[in-house]
Amino acid sequence: MRAGAAEIRAKKVTEAHKDQLVDDDNGASQSLLTYAKTAAEYKALASGVFTNPTFLMLSLFSAGLFFLIAGFSAFGPKYFEFGFSMSPSLAGVMFGKYCDSRF
């Protein structure tokens, strides 16, 4: 006899977020998303995130890349205008056509 879908789902144990479970004082597991209930617990979790070198480097590199692209987008047409003796409208069109699609 075949088991129904509800029985199969009830037997399955998800392991997707098992590394994110933390044991509390009573021995029960709870998710890290609901773990910080006081300011001290939140401070401990936040310090763990902000002292993670991978998180810090990715954040800094992402911010730097954003400013680099914003600078190119803002001042690239002006460079084309003066560097190649173009009109402002032609410089904007040429920069948009050839440079922005390569970022």
pTM: 0.50
Does residue 26 surpass a pLDDT of 70?
Answer: no
- Which whole-number Å values give the CA distances from 39 to 27, 44, 45, 46, 55, in the listed order? 22, 9, 10, 10, 22
Q: Select the highest-mean-pLDDT range: 14-18, 39-43, 47-51.
A: 47-51
Burial of 91 per CB tally in 10 Å (0-12, 13-18, 19+): buried
Other beta carbons within 10 Å of 92: 16
Which is higher by pLDDT, 45 or 27? 45
Does residue 60 surpass a pLDDT of 70?
Answer: yes
How many Cα atoms sit within 13 Å of 20 on the Cβ side?
Answer: 9
Residue 101: phi, psi to the nearest 5?
A: -75, -15
In the prediction, which pLDDT does 56 show? Answer: 92
Does residue 80 surpass a pLDDT of 70?
Answer: yes
